[in-house]
Structure 1
């Protein structure tokens, strides 16, 4: 009979290994905890980036909307009618051009009224907090260069390194979307 086959021959070895499994479990638990914390941090950053992307999309959609409205009302009074700066706090002046005949000036007032309502809705839904809009048309020989700046307050702190020459909005953590376009004027 072999000496190793005795039930008592493994007792000293068990005493030496006692508690080793508990240390393995603790190390595995620490590694799992660090991995889960990393996953939570990644999810938090992804959610913040998604929110910022939603804000930027809303601002770009609003800027495109007013540019298309200006293109549709391309008369000689574009600069006088659309050169505006306003914020979500400004109360839009009600104007209706749906069932009545409107001049280009009235149509510009109606466009700005509709657009200010859209800006207020975007602010109330949280997609553009504290929104400010600056519309700057500049005339030349063939048409109008148009700059639309939509500024809003972002949630996280961000140091702005570019576009410091854009003076639209003064909220903390300011974000901006700048849309430059050109409108050719119709012959009168």
Structure 2
């Protein structure tokens, strides 16, 4: 009769059980990492959309080369703002005021596109324009702030909290674009 060591029976089953638990924790960690990556990807998409929209209105302001840009473009509005009828500045000759109205309405429509793409929730846009004394012509500091509500809490710096555009809370995200515009007379 062969000799059987009874002190080691079931040891292999215990090793398999421990290996299974280690594998389970590893898979749970991989799933959690994937969830965090998806959140970061969504935040990145929102920021890219805000930068793109901010650059778009900045170029629209630059192309409407008029000394009245302060009265035409300086305003604050949200993605809930109703759209006004647009002027047909694509086929008709338009004044600087009509071009500005068309620019802003087209841009508001782009901000509202979030309903289709999910890009910017509860967006608020602030366009600030101030005159700057300049000997070469009329100068303006143009600041476009796009603020929206993110999906997770975020600890903002004091400088970011000080920017007054949109609701200031732990989920607010914002992009601020500054430029200088010179209108030669």
Using the size of structure 2 for normalisation, the TM-score is: 0.92
Contact kept, 8 Å, 2:161 with 2:168, in 1: the verdict is no
Counterparts of 2:85 and 2:106 in 1: how far apart (Å)? 9
Task: Give the corresponding residue for 2:68.
Answer: 77
Counterparts of 1:125 and 1:171 in 2: how far apart (Å)? 24
Please, which runs of 5 or more residues in structure 1 have no aligned partner?
1-7
Counterparts of 1:123 and 1:82 in 2: how far apart (Å)? 24
Q: In the alignment, which of 144, 161, 164 is matched to residue 161 of structure 2?
A: 164
Which is greater in Rg?
1
| 1:172-187 correspondence runs (5 A) | 172=169, 173-187=171-185
Counterparts of 1:123 and 1:74 in 2: how far apart (Å)? 32
Counterparts of 1:110 and 1:46 in 2: how far apart (Å)? 39
What is the aligned residue count?
178
Contact kept, 8 Å, 2:147 with 2:165, in 1: the verdict is yes
RMSD (Å) for aligned C-alpha atoms:
1.2
Counterparts of 2:36 and 2:45 in 1: how far apart (Å)? 14
Shift of 1:17: 1.6
Task: Give the corresponding residue for 1:141.
Answer: 133
Counterparts of 1:152 and 1:158 in 2: how far apart (Å)? 12
1:27 aligns with 2:14: no
1:37 aligns with 2:28: yes
Using the size of structure 1 for normalisation, the TM-score is: 0.91
**2:101 match: secondary structure:** helix
Please, which runs of 5 or more residues in structure 2 have no aligned partner?
none
What whole-Å deviation, never above 9, does each CA across 1:81-127 have from its counterpart, x for those lacking one? 00010001111212221111101111100100100000001344210
Task: Give the corresponding residue for 2:59.
Answer: 68
